[in-house]
Structure 1
């Protein structure tokens, strides 16, 4: 099967590429820069230059493709806005897919998106869901909650470096999942029947609050976290302030997501039906405890090795001094 992955250099996209190649699919990646995506070519993927914000670049990328997996999203540092990438870009890609007569389309949304029309990213995700449902394509919409990979820079690294862990006083539990496991669900949806024109959640079996994650990181690292709390009203002010400047619009839209985290509405959903439909064993899916335990175990081992080498060098220097 020939699969086009859009957003292939991202946290999720690269895992989808890796998993698809491991399952012997032909993988083509739509990329804006071949240099930045060279690792995908080394893995065995085909690279095609293009940009979903430039519809004229899409037809050639779609030639001969059986499935489009759309994992693209605007980054906070992008010059293009969330609206340009996550809405107009997606419309361009969906329409180009229709014109290429490709029926299968995979899209990633966010759980509870329809409940936050005041948050740009959530509203755009929900509107894209509706657009896809009316497109006539054999879509599968996966609603995600959060990626475990994002917990490392947010909690793990600051705690290890004795730096502040910045929290907004959020009390929203989130059912995080490893992106490698998300990729398993995605490829299963491509391979098994019965997922066409379906909207399915993909998330961990347990939702975690920020406080619970901090406590787990402290336990696994043996270090105490320094918590710095940002009032939600300050985030609202910063969002309003950054809206005045064109170059900070994307950051402003991202800040608006704090409203979701402070809502208290769990980002969670039952997964029993999804596991059954996609024929996936729960035991093959990484729990958050397992993910963080593996991370801290690896890092703490490395720290001990570095300390050992440094102490060995110090002892050598001391010995040479007395000779």
Structure 2
């Protein structure tokens, strides 16, 4: 299948590209900066320069493709507003796909988006879901609830660097997933007709609270974490302050997620039936324990190697004419 991937340089998008190429699809990636996407070309994908904010480039990107997987979203650090990309851009993308006769459109939303109309990104995701359903496109909507990869910077790295791990009071537990597993569902949707014109929630094998994730990292790294707790009220105040400044709109919108991550019910869903529909072996979905173990093993091995190389350099600097003192 000739597949266009939007957002292919992102954490999830690159895994989708890798999976699609491994499955034998002809992959084209829409990218804003081709130089930053050379790794996709090296994998075997074609690159086309374009921008969700430029509808003319979207029309060109659709040529020769039969399916689209949209994994793009604005980053919290971007200067671009959420509405520009996640609403205006997605509307233009969907319209371009419809005009080009795209046979399948896979869109990534967020689990429970319809329940949070006051949270900007959640509301936009829900509105986009409705727009796709009314567009006449043959669609599949996937709604994951969080990525393993996002936990590395939040928990693993601060613990390794002996820095504070910020934990929000009253935070609910979430069933995070590995982006490689999410990519498998996205690509499998293209070959499973029973996923057409349906919405699927995605979740990992277990929901984890912040305290449980900290304890897991402490155990694997064999070192304690410096935990700093943040009251939910302080975060909400920060959101109100951030909205006074144009440059902080994205930050304020992300802070609004406090409403989502402090909900009482665990953020998770059963996956048995969904796995059957997509032809995915539920037992093969990665666990957070295994993911974190692999990460820490790799990093600790690298640190030991760097320490060894440092010691070797120091030993070579010693004069060969000096004998060690007794």
Q: Deviations over 1:19-70 (max 9, x none)?
A: 1111111001111111111111111111111111111211110012111100
State whether structure 2 residue 95 is matched by structure 1 residue 83.
Answer: no
Q: Which moved more, 1:211-220 or 1:257-266?
A: 257-266
**Aligned runs of 1:1-323 on 2, under 5 Å?**
1-315=1-315, 320=320, 322-323=322-323
Q: Distance in 2 between matches of 1:227 and 1:124?
A: 33
Structure 1, unpaired ranges of 5+: none
Secondary structure, counterpart of 1:137 in structure 2:
coil
Secondary structure, counterpart of 1:24 in structure 2:
coil
Moved over 4 A (4+): 312-321
Q: Relative to 1, partners in 2 of residues 1:311 and 1:202: Cα closer, same or farther, differing over 3 Å?
A: same
Deviation at 1:108, TM superposition (A): 0.6
Secondary structure, counterpart of 1:9 in structure 2:
coil
Deviation at 1:305, TM superposition (A): 2.4
Query: Once superposed, what is the RMSD of the aligned Cα atoms?
Result: 1.5
Q: Relative to 1, partners in 2 of residues 1:170 and 1:30: Cα closer, same or farther, differing over 3 Å?
A: farther
Is the 2:119–2:253 Cα contact (8 Å) retained in structure 1?
yes
Deviation at 1:170, TM superposition (A): 3.9
Is the 2:32–2:51 Cα contact (8 Å) retained in structure 1?
yes
Deviation at 1:263, TM superposition (A): 1.7
| Count of paired positions | 323
Q: Deviations over 1:277-304 (max 9, x none)?
A: 1111123221111000111111122222
Secondary structure, counterpart of 2:199 in structure 1:
strand
Q: Which moved more, 1:298-307 or 1:162-171?
A: 298-307
TM-score relative to the length of structure 1: 0.96
Secondary structure, counterpart of 2:109 in structure 1:
strand
Secondary structure, counterpart of 2:79 in structure 1:
coil
Is the 2:111–2:202 Cα contact (8 Å) retained in structure 1?
no
